Amino acid sequence: MPSPETVTAPVAREFVAAAEERGLTVATAESLTAGRIAASIADVPGASAVLRGGLIVYATDLKGILAGVDADLLDRVGPVHPEVAAQLARGAARVCGADLGVGVTGVAGPDAQDGHPVGEVYLAVSVSAQADCPDQGTVVHRLDDRWHSPAQDIGAREAIRRATTIRALELLTTQVEGGLELKGNKPAPTSVGDGDGKAHFGP
């Protein structure tokens, strides 16, 4: 079976090339992927021009301590929630001083967590106030079940973690190639998407 690095490398290279061309930097806040997104970016030659750093926030309390996720929110909804992903993304960008932040949180398995099934994963990409793009702000997506099949020989847990890494890199590339450039200082609204749809989620 192909290694995680082999599968994610082309997507990571595409993101690094696009971000470097525009002079943009990125930081990550990762739960279930435990640093894989940042590591995939770092594997690309020249990544130092793009990658600022990353936070591994596997434990629920560290999502607040390191990334600044609201403690009341974590108490109320738990760690697996779209707004938690959004705050992770914004926290990563803020703490590391990056133009882009990506946050991921969810259940990789093998067991469900607090009523959330295996495979429920939220990914967020945040564009800081220093960056200008058509879809500025924080966009949250839920990982589509089609991204990870339990029948894959790598196993459901590995499939979910790998799919989350790839999807996060693709979302970052989409934001960058959508016209992102450093310019001005604008407010950043937030939206949340599930599949192909989007809805406003709040500041």
Q: What is the pLDDT of residues 137-181, one digit of tens each?
A: 899 999 987 655 554 556 889 999 999 999 999 999 998 988 555
Lowest-pLDDT range of 44-58, 71-85, 90-104, 144-158: 144-158
Where does the pLDDT of residue 7 fall: very low under 50, low under 70, confident under 90, or very high at 90 and above?
Answer: confident
Per the DSSP assignment, residues forming a β-bridge with 123 are 104, 141
For residue 188, the enclosing domain spans 4-200
Question: Which of 9-18, 41-50, 181-190 is least confident?
Answer: 181-190
On the question of pLDDT at 5 being above 70, the answer is no
DSSP β-bridge partners for residue 125: 102, 139
- pLDDT attached to residue 136: 64
> 2 falls in which pLDDT band (50, 70, 90)?
low
Number of domains comprising the chain: 1
What pLDDT does 128 receive? Answer: 83
Percent of the residues in the chain that have a pLDDT greater than 90, as a whole number: 70
Long-range contacts of 106-109 (CB under 8 A, 24+ apart): 106/31, 106/32, 106/80, 106/143, 106/160, 106/164, 107/32, 107/80, 107/160, 108/32, 108/157, 108/160, 108/161, 108/164, 109/156, 109/157, 109/160
Cβ count within 10 A of residue 29: 35
pLDDT value for 90: 97
DSSP state at residue 169: H
Q: What local confidence, expressed as pLDDT, does residue 81 receive?
A: 98
Cβ proximity of 82 and 122 under 8 Å: yes
Considering only residues 20 and 7, tell me which one the structure prediction assigns the higher pLDDT.
Answer: 20
pTM for the complete prediction? Answer: 0.85
pLDDT score at 144: 82
The pLDDT of residue 149: 55
Q: What is the structure's pLDDT at 166?
A: 97
Once rounded to an integer, what is the mean pLDDT over residues 90-114? 96
End-to-end CA distance of the chain, in Å? 42
Q: What is the CATH number of the domain that holds 112?
A: 3.90.950.20
Mean pLDDT of all residues belonging to the chain: 85
Assess contact for 80 and 96: CB atoms under 8 A. Answer: no
Cis peptide before 10 (omega within 30 of 0): no
How confident is the model at residue 187, as a pLDDT?
34
pLDDT bin (cut points 50, 70, 90) of residue 74 is: very high
